[in-house]
Amino acid sequence: MLMAFSSCLLLVLLQIFSALFLSLAQDQSGFISLDCGSPRGTSFRERTTNLTYISDANFINTGVSRNIKPAYQTQFQQQTWNLRSFPQGIRNCYTINLTIGDEYLIRANFLHGGYDNTPSTQFELHLGPNLWTKVSTTNESVALAFEMIHLLTTDRLQICLVKTGNSTPFISALEFRKLINTTYLTQEGSLQTFIRADVGATVTQGYRFGIDVFDRIWTPFNFVNWSQITTNQTVNVNNDYQPPGRAMVTASVPTDPEAAMNLSITGVERTMRFYVFMHFAEIQELSSNETREFNIMYNDKHLYGPFRPFNLSTSSIFTPAEVVADANGQYKFSLQRTGNSTLPPLLNALEIYSVILFPQQGTDRKEVDAMLNLKSGYSVNKVEWEGDPCVPRDYRWSGVNCSDIENEQPKIISLNLSGSSLTGEILEFISDLTNLEVLDLSNNSLTGSVPEFLAEMSTLKLINLSGNELNGSIPTPLLDRVRRGSISLSIDGNTGLCSSGSCATTKKKKKNTVVVPVVASLVSVFLIGAGIVTFLILKRKKRSKLPLNPNSGTGTTPLHTRSQNGYESPVIAKNRKLTYSDVVKITNNFERILGRGGFGVVYYGVLDNEPVAVKMLTESTALGYKQFKAEVELLLRVHHKDLTCLVGYCEEGDKMSLIYEYMANGDLKEHLSGKRGPSILTWEGRLRIAAESAQGLEYLHNGCKPQIVHRDIKTTNILLNEKFQAKLADFGLSRSFPLGTETHVSTVVAGTPGYLDPEYYRTNWLTEKSDVFSFGVVLLELITNQPVIDMKRERSHIGEWVGLMLSRGDINSIVDPKLQGDYDPNTIWKVVETAMTCLNPSSSRRPTMNQVVMDLKECLNMEMARNMGSRMTDSTNDSSIELSMNFTTELSPGAR
């Protein structure tokens, strides 16, 4: 152990002759002196130091003022005459605004002074979330001071008094003294004062400001076998440490000039670590044949020297690294004269500090501010809402829950202010809680509207606003998130609240009247572009291979933005990598084929008692195993209720498979074609499927990082579960897999004929708008139930054909006859309009999926309202539909 630290114990000599710091002398700037317990707004100048103390009332909201007995007032400085005691609450905190990177000497002073009948107290002093020291008073007439030197890592410092037993914490004065932040540096932690000694002092009283520019308190100090020497000249003290002149004009030398000056730290635990600062100046007049030269040793290891103190000028020598005990538990410094020296060593002043660590990080400043703003904004009356909201855990604010990850800054993840008598509006400060997942404001008296910022809080998963007096409408973006399943919202018992996004219904009617001209103009645009589509589709087959992956991303560092905070469904909590033999077992030796998809054969299987679909990838479809893994890891993180969930994968040599949740009702195409039986998908059912798959796609485009372009949107990739909920399948694979056509497994072609974006085909530039195009085709299929490409039709491509029919004003002839006229023509129009804009040859003129989702949801609401036999324009009905549909969404959007 000795060897280990001796190498790093290089000492540094500081010798600054300039008078740079003379101007600093006795300047109180950079000092904050709080007289605890004195009335708000008062201040006074302390008689012996001339320091100005101010009331602490602006720095703390709790505690009560008390006074010491008048008898003690003559004995102690005025800042101890008042004190603040804390009979209420466990933790009470002072908050001081300081500047990050500044260094302060911080001193807390305690004098009981008989302010109550129990002078014996025990409590703790905390710096932010960390223990600074235990305070224990036994005698009302003994003043205690705890001091540390601390380099600020935040702009806000909290000093808390923490009740640990029965006694009531109190504090007399709190002092902050700004130091030069290049001094007293440590490798880690802060410095707690162990001793600060004026060695060889002739005075018996300690001293502070007025003599020490930084208001350090110096104690006179003499050793038994040492002698004092002194000078009546002044010593230059102008280095960064600026020890007081009074300390430097006196020094100790060993009484026996041949003896070493030995200095041990004793009576401490062996685990303590120290920093030592020694200040030297030659204060004897040496004749030309005299020298004073010595070495500084630590535990018999050479530390520094040979060193000759400068005449009447200060050198400060310090340990740049902490010193620890040797194997015998000893901490021993020794100043030893060299052979050439005619004089013994000397020591003028000495400071020893122990290292104190503050390992617990405080909560992010912004989140703390938000909580403080909420506390004052709502006048929250909770005594435990003091100090850091999250840490330490024992003193966490009630209603607040935080992430508890070791060595990480705590984050507020839930806030429960249910039944806290809150009044007024929902305050925007909440939006500064950027990691919040659960917000419960239920059973208060909150008024005003539901603010839009809630929708933008991307981590929020659960909002409970029930039992308030909110009014107005729920913002559409919030409704969208509810609909998407990314948020769960409770609003019961707010009688004034209209839950539909569109309480004002006049807009709707107006829109319907302009549908026809819009469609007409779209049609003509489409017809111009249609030629290109035909040409490209015909030409397609001649190209053998398209360069793939024009999209960004190797997929090595994908982070799914919305899945970071425990968003994943339990099924996929772990990356499920399975062996091939697992796969054989799951599928019962590939017993039942579910279908043949673009990438291989799909088998039925059972994993953890849940049915799954196992997609065996054909060898030739894989571009590379490594890429496969990266892709799969990305897909394992993508969870949305409208996307089929990947629950596992297998990669063993050339045996690669993907395991998805099982979708009991097959794909959309089977249902439209009647292959699944005679039952007909209603218009409402189709709209619901359209809206759900649009949401899934919107999520791939906007909710995933990196963005995922599906590249193969078509009716066979929209699957239906046992509840006829639609989910998109086969997304993401296209990034590392060439796509198969509908029938041929191994043909390397991008996209499926008819669904393919002509612009992508032309430019090879893939964007999410290519998916929008394909989705437009799906919408037309839902309306018409016609093949996408039919050579026998007047126009082979479904888009061209619909365009032609519309230009003839023949809308009824395009609608699937199986619907038997059971639909609201307005919604058909609206969806046709949307589909046609999706098919715009120019990708920039296509809508985003977000717009498509909104259009479809509006139509779905209208159709649902119609089916419930109520008038479309009745907003109360709208809202009840939204409620039943949306607000029951589970917290976890996972597939199961």
Ligand X SMILES: *[C@@H]1O[C@H](CO)[C@@H](O)[C@H](O)[C@H]1NC(C)=O
Residues engaged in binding ligand X (CB under 6 A): 50, 58-59, 97, 101, 139, 141-142, 151, 181, 210, 224-225, 232, 259-260, 262, 287, 289, 300, 306, 334, 340, 342
Residue 129 CA to residue 554 CA, distance in Å, equals 42
Amino acid 378 reads: Y
Q: Which helix (H) or strand (E) holds 852?
A: helix 849-867
Which residue, 14 or 594, is less far from ligand X as judged by CB? 14
Residue 106 CA to residue 70 CA, distance in Å, equals 27
Place of tokens 């009688």: 495
Asked if 558 contacts 706 with a C-beta cutoff of 8 angstroms, the reply is yes
Which residue, 357 or 573, is less far from ligand X as judged by CB? 357
Which residue, 300 or 404, is less far from ligand X as judged by CB? 300
Considering the complex, what minimum distance in angstroms separates the CB of residue 466 from ligand X? 33
Which residue, 200 or 803, is less far from ligand X as judged by CB? 200
Q: Is 615 annotated as a binding residue?
A: yes
Amino acid 491 reads: I
Asked if 881 contacts 864 with a C-beta cutoff of 8 angstroms, the reply is yes
How many CB atoms sit inside 10 A of residue 776's CB? 27
21-36 as b/e: b if 16+ CB within 10 A: eeeeeeeeeebbbbbb
Q: Which of 720, 811, 715, 701 is nearest to 755 (CA)?
A: 715
Place of tokens 């009702």: 665
Considering the complex, what minimum distance in angstroms separates the CB of residue 439 from ligand X? 24
Considering the complex, what minimum distance in angstroms separates the CB of residue 523 from ligand X? 59
Tell me the residue ranges of DSSP E strands in 315-411.
Answer: 315-318, 331-337, 349-356, 400-402
Q: Which of 748, 776, 717, 733 is nearest to 533 (CA)?
A: 776
CA distances from 498 to 113, 141, 406, 511 (A): 63, 67, 44, 22
Residues in Cβ contact with 88 at an 8 Å cutoff, skipping those fewer than 6 apart? 62, 63, 383
Considering the complex, what minimum distance in angstroms separates the CB of residue 137 from ligand X? 11
Centroid of chain to Cα 161: 28
Q: Which helix (H) or strand (E) holds 171?
A: strand 170-171
Residue 557 CA to residue 406 CA, distance in Å, equals 23
Considering the complex, what minimum distance in angstroms separates the CB of residue 182 from ligand X? 7
Given phi > 0 = left and psi -120 to 50 = alpha, else beta, which region is 44?
A: beta
266-295 as b/e: b if 16+ CB within 10 A: eeeeeebbbbbbbbbbbbbeeeeeeebbbb
Residue 658, strand partner residues: 615, 649
Q: Is 654 exposed, middle or buried (0-12, 13-18, 19+ CB in 10 A)?
A: exposed
Residue 852 CA to residue 774 CA, distance in Å, equals 13
Which residue, 306 or 753, is less far from ligand X as judged by CB? 306
Cis ω for the linkage preceding 306 (within 30 of 0): yes
Catalytic residue among 712, 730, 771, 816: 712
Considering the complex, what minimum distance in angstroms separates the CB of residue 447 from ligand X? 26
Place of tokens 């933005």: 561
Which residue, 300 or 608, is less far from ligand X as judged by CB? 300
Q: Which pair of tokens denotes residue 204?
A: 């018996």
Which residue, 285 or 874, is less far from ligand X as judged by CB? 285
Which residue, 340 or 743, is less far from ligand X as judged by CB? 340
Q: Which pair of tokens denotes residue 142?
A: 């003994």
Asked if 147 contacts 192 with a C-beta cutoff of 8 angstroms, the reply is yes
Considering the complex, what minimum distance in angstroms separates the CB of residue 409 from ligand X? 19
The one-character DSSP state at 650 is E
Residue 33 CA to residue 401 CA, distance in Å, equals 35
Considering the complex, what minimum distance in angstroms separates the CB of residue 142 from ligand X? 5
Considering the complex, what minimum distance in angstroms separates the CB of residue 101 from ligand X? 3
Asked if 861 contacts 880 with a C-beta cutoff of 8 angstroms, the reply is no
Considering the complex, what minimum distance in angstroms separates the CB of residue 28 from ligand X? 11
Residue 755 CA to residue 789 CA, distance in Å, equals 9
User: Is 300 one of the annotated active-site residues of the chain?
Assistant: no
Residue positions annotated with a catalytic role: 712
Binding residues for ATP: 615
Binding residues: 615
